[in-house]
Amino acid sequence: MSQRLKDTFARGKAEGRTLFMPYITGGYPKSFETVPLLLALEAGGADIIELGVPFTDPVADGATIQHANEVAVANGTTFQDCLEFVREARSRGLAAPVLLMGYYNPVLSYGVERAVADAATAGADGFIMVDMPPEEAGDFVALCGRHDLSFVPLIAPTTGDNRMPLATSTADAFLYCVSVTGTTGQRDSLPPELGAFIERVRASSPLPIAIGFGISRREHVEAVGKLADAAIVGSAIIA
């Protein structure tokens, strides 16, 4: 487990506030801008940062983040570049936890064991693998644990009660709850059934919960704060 993540959630709970977790795509809009953006996010109040690893087929993402991925890929941004972004940001004083978010293919292409080891060395705190189901996550979760990194699963509203324990069992720091079925992107409102979904997740795990997908307005963040421990904002920042 990432100690930085654990400490950050503990601090948020002690302060009685919702953590702010922004997302940016590595290498977008230009590679040289990523490290300054990471530092600016922390200076602006980010508690935890998601750094997206560009991929050619980001199926879980809406138009805004898809475009960011396309531009970053066209800029030649690789998994290794994203590690370098983290390494340089740490050398320049970045203290917030950083999670590498994306798809399994870039990690597989880089070499799974090498990817996890190098991520730890660079100063990352864990992985969010969008396309890794819990049934297939065991070896990767164990590998992350050996390097003191966290694996953060995505929990969807469609996750049934019989499958929920397996889905939540892969986490050690917090759970990423997807507010809606479908892709990322800005929305006018949050679904009315979100509260009931979060109650189901809490019944399965005592870990902190972050809510993402469609969190794009102040009132969304305020609503999330009544249900969860962290609010994730991506498309609204990139747009």
What does the domain layout of the chain look like in residue ranges?
3-238
Q: How far apart are CA 6 and CA 97, in angstroms?
A: 10
What kind of architecture, by CATH, is found in domain 3-238? Alpha-Beta Barrel (3.20)
Distance CA 96, CA 48 (A): 5
**Tokens 């950050």 correspond to what residue?**
8
Instruction: Collect all residues with Cβ–Cβ distance below 8 Å to 50 and sequence separation of at least 6.
Output: 21, 22, 23, 24, 98, 99, 101, 128, 232, 234
Cα 123–chain centre separation: 15
| Structure-token match 């060395």, residue found | 121
Residue linked to tokens 């819990």: 134
- Half-sphere exposure for 175 (CA within 13 Å, toward CB): 29
d(CA 46, CA 94): 11
Distances from the Cα of 182 to the Cα of 47, 60, 153, 187, angstroms: 26, 7, 16, 12
Tokens of 12: 């948020």
Q: What pLDDT score was predicted for residue 188?
A: 63
**What are the backbone dihedrals phi and psi of residue 3, each rounded to the nearest 5 degrees, phi first?**
-65, -35
The Cα–Cα gap between 52 and 154 comes to: 15
| CB-facing half-sphere around the CA of 153: CA atoms within 13 A | 24
Q: What is the pLDDT of residue 232?
A: 96
Query: How many CA atoms within 13 Å lie on the side-chain side of 238?
Result: 33
Is the separation of the CB atoms in 184 and 160 below 8 Å?
Answer: no
- Catalytic residue numbers read 50, 61
pLDDT in tens, the chain (239 residues): 899 999 999 999 999 999 999 999 999 999 999 999 999 999 999 999 999 999 998 887 888 999 999 999 999 999 999 999 999 999 999 999 999 999 999 999 999 999 999 999 999 999 999 999 999 999 999 999 999 999 999 999 999 999 999 999 999 999 999 988 765 655 566 888 999 999 999 999 999 999 998 898 889 899 999 999 999 999 889 97
For residue 111 the two structure tokens come to 């070499």
Angle at 6 between CA 182 and CA 207, to 5 degrees: 50
Q: Residue 163: count other Cβ atoms within 10 Å of its Cβ.
A: 15
